[in-house]
Amino acid sequence: MEQDLSPGSDPAPRRRAAAALAGLLAAVVTFGVGHLVAGIVDPPASPLASLGDTFIDLTPEWLKEAAIAAFGTHDKLALLVGMVVVVGIAAALVGVLALRHLGVAQGIVVVLGAVAGIAAQTRPQTGQLALFPSLVGAAAGAFALRWLILRLTGPGTEPADVRDTGRRAFLGAAAAVGVVGVLSAIGGTVIAGARSTAAAVKALVLPAAARPAPPVPADAQSPVAGVVDVVTPNSTFYRIDTAFTVPQVDPDTWRLRVHGLVDREVTLTFDDLLASDLVEAYVTLTCVSNSVGGDLAGNAKWLGLPVREVLAMAGPQADADMVLSRSVDGFTASTPLEVLTDDRDALLAVGMNGQPLPAEHGFPVRMVVPGLYGYVSATKWVSDLEVTRFADATAYWTVRGWSERGPVKLASRIEVPRSGSTVDAGPVDVGGTAWAQHTGISGVEVQVDDGPWQPATLAGEISVDAWRQWSWRWADATSGRHLLRVRAIDNDGMTQTGERSPAIPDGATGWHEISVFVA
Ligand SMILES: Nc1nc2c(c(=O)[nH]1)N[C@H]1C(S)=C(S)[C@@H](COP(=O)(O)O)O[C@H]1N2
Ligand SMILES: [Mo]
């Protein structure tokens, strides 16, 4: 029955707006209460988190590519904003529907809650109780929706002079529902935070390396001001993963299981790892999604146990050719067995730049393999190594159209001056970084407009597994617009190809070029 909320104005639109608000607030309650219950029973089972994770796994490849291209390492924030918008619109529509069909609208909330609960239940990271946060949240949301909508439809027979009270009562009820939802969400966040690994990360004291990395040469940093730090601080190290919320892994219960085509299964505890002879190495990690000139790369000093030593304990069988590493969150990577058993510093890393691994970078243990893109090697929160064959198992990104093998491609970029910037005429210092992990960089060349390629000066080499910086003095920059290009040469004598190819399926190629305006 129609009842205007505000005397003197068109009742239907105002009532619909109020119902949409009721729908939105019911969604806030659903997610807020769900988050609170998850905080208590199983933080990864929070409805928003499992919705985000499920969405990431189901997103078509082109959309994911577009998201990483558009938002880079902010892709998760973009997803969150997108989800809030979509859920918000849906919730408002459910609210309007509830005006006429309250039971149906409540049913939709509960069914969506059940779907979110089942999604949470089926995620590898969640436990036995993962169904409940979403279900309880949806029940609370359905209840809140009913409570608010009944204040709009009411018995509908109040005399005109109580209508204003009715409107105030609705807004008061709406505010109360909003507060319950928000406080629940905050409570859930606080409880989950108290259960997180932050304290464990902080408390961990890493053992000294049995084989420390040689010191970084004094001239490893390019002398050109503005070139990135040659050792990337943990706080600015790029982060790429499919985990909407960072997995929290307790080092006391963490285990690494090595199994599959092996003579004997091996299980390691975190203490076993820390008690081993650990190795320290500078290794540059790069993402296969990095575009030419992009910044999805970072160089750190890792501390860890060589993977080959763990594999040697298990004894891989002759027909094996791949190790499928698996994270607690279900992510998998396929790494050629030979790369993990040769003499390179492929590590089960516990330390990053002298600190325990930050949670976002894989605490307590991740893999780091020189020479391969992260998606086929650098499994964070690793818990399982299955010795197998490429013919028998397929990793997370390979299922989604990326190559099953991902050796890093020779690459170089200009960091100074920045593309599109204006510089003064005369000598201009140009600098940047090049990489060819596990092969090493032997030269970098710069080209101005379509002139000859000119050799840049290489900065000192940390190791062949780390990137190498360079500098070049552009002696006579003349006024006008100019194009600068860079290419690298590796220790095998190979020159970086100028042929452009996209990141998918196995890494972008092409020369990085920038345009600068000389004043
Ligand atoms: N568990 C897990 N490990 C993962 C990923 C992931 O999605 N999940 N992404 C990989 C990819 S694609 C890259 S490039 C590196 C990035 O490591 P970083 O975030 O520490 O820079 O992690 C790899 N390890
Ligand atoms: Mo990546």
Task: Assess whether 383 and 418 both reside in one domain.
Answer: no
Which of 365, 369, 372, 380 has most ligand 1 atoms within 8 Å of its beta carbon, as the pocket-test mutant?
A: 380
Residue 480 lies in a domain: yes
What's the total number of domains in the chain? 3
Domain boundary (195, 225, 257) is at: 195
**For position 460, which CATH number holds?**
2.60.40.650
Task: Assess whether 296 and 344 both reside in one domain.
Answer: yes
Gap between the Cα atoms of 288 and 404, Å rounded: 12
pLDDT tens-place string over residues 412-451: 999 999 999 999 999 999 999 999 999 999 999 999 999 9
| Residue 144: both structure tokens together | 């809140």
Task: Assess whether 34 and 177 both reside in one domain.
Answer: yes
Measured from the Cβ of residue 360, the count of other Cβ atoms closer than 10 Å reads 14
Question: Three-class SS of residue 199?
Answer: helix
pTM for the model stands at 0.88
- Mean pLDDT, range 195-222, rounded to an integer: 94
Query: Ligand 2 centre from 244 Cα, in Å?
Result: 15
Query: Ligand 2 centre from 338 Cα, in Å?
Result: 21
**Is the predicted pLDDT of residue 182 greater than 90, yes or no?**
yes
Residue 6 lies in a domain: no
The protein residue with its alpha carbon nearest to ligand 1, atom 5, reads 241
Domain boundary (400, 432, 460) is at: 400
Amino acid at 239: R
Task: Assess whether 186 and 122 both reside in one domain.
Answer: yes
Task: Assess whether 263 and 300 both reside in one domain.
Answer: yes
More confident residue, 117 or 3: 117
Task: Assess whether 36 and 123 both reside in one domain.
Answer: yes
pLDDT tens-place string over residues 88-103: 999 999 999 999 999 9
Residues lining ion ligand 2 (Cβ < 5 A) are: 240, 287, 374-375
Query: Ligand 2 centre from 297 Cα, in Å?
Result: 9
Residue 504 lies in a domain: yes
**Is the predicted pLDDT of residue 501 greater than 90, yes or no?**
yes
Query: Ligand 2 centre from 349 Cα, in Å?
Result: 17
The protein residue with its alpha carbon nearest to ligand 1, atom 9, reads 241
Measured from the Cβ of residue 481, the count of other Cβ atoms closer than 10 Å reads 10
**Is the predicted pLDDT of residue 163 greater than 80, yes or no?**
no
Task: Assess whether 372 and 498 both reside in one domain.
Answer: no
pLDDT tens-place string over residues 328-346: 999 999 999 999 999 999 9
pLDDT tens-place string over residues 352-393: 999 999 999 999 999 999 999 999 999 999 999 999 999 999
What percentage of the chain exceeds 70 in pLDDT?
96
**Is the predicted pLDDT of residue 518 greater than 50, yes or no?**
yes
Task: Assess whether 89 and 159 both reside in one domain.
Answer: yes
What percentage of the chain exceeds 90 in pLDDT?
81
Query: Ligand 1 centre from 6 Cα, in Å?
Result: 55
CA distance to 139, 267, 277, 315, 327, per residue, from 272 (Å): 46, 9, 10, 18, 19
Give, to the nearest 10 degrees, the angle between helix 163-194 and helix 131-153: 170
- Mean pLDDT, range 273-292, rounded to an integer: 97
**What is the number of residues in the chain?**
519
**Is the predicted pLDDT of residue 1 greater than 70, yes or no?**
no
Residue 3 lies in a domain: no
Task: Assess whether 277 and 131 both reside in one domain.
Answer: no
Could you give the count of Cα atoms lying within 13 Å of 109 in the half-sphere of its Cβ?
35
Task: Assess whether 59 and 143 both reside in one domain.
Answer: yes
Give residue 293's region: left, alpha or beta (phi > 0; psi -120 to 50): left
Task: Assess whether 160 and 20 both reside in one domain.
Answer: yes
Residue 225 lies in a domain: no
**Is the predicted pLDDT of residue 159 greater than 50, yes or no?**
no
- Mean pLDDT, range 462-479, rounded to an integer: 97
Residue 223 lies in a domain: no
Give the model's pLDDT for residue 164.
Answer: 58
- Mean pLDDT, range 120-133, rounded to an integer: 88
Measured from the Cβ of residue 99, the count of other Cβ atoms closer than 10 Å reads 19
More confident residue, 445 or 160: 445
Q: Single out the residue of 113, 87, 72, 85 nearest to residue 23, CA to CA.
A: 87
Domain of 315?
Answer: 234-400
pLDDT tens-place string over residues 49-80: 888 888 888 887 788 778 777 777 777 888 88
Lining ligand 1 with CB less than 6 A are 237-243, 285, 287, 298, 327, 329, 331, 361, 374-375, 378-381
Q: Indicate which atom in ligand 1 lies nearest the CA of residue 361.
A: 20
Give the model's pLDDT for residue 157.
Answer: 43
DSSP string, 208-273: PPSBPPPPPPTT-S-SSTTSPPSS--GGGS----S-SS-----TTT-EEEEEESBSS-EEEEHHHH
Give the model's pLDDT for residue 4.
Answer: 45
Query: Ligand 1 centre from 285 Cα, in Å?
Result: 10
Task: Assess whether 268 and 137 both reside in one domain.
Answer: no
Give the model's pLDDT for residue 11.
Answer: 63
Which of 232, 241, 291 has most ligand 1 atoms within 8 Å of its beta carbon, as the pocket-test mutant?
A: 241
Give the model's pLDDT for residue 165.
Answer: 63
Band of residue 8 on the pLDDT scale cut at 50, 70, 90: very low
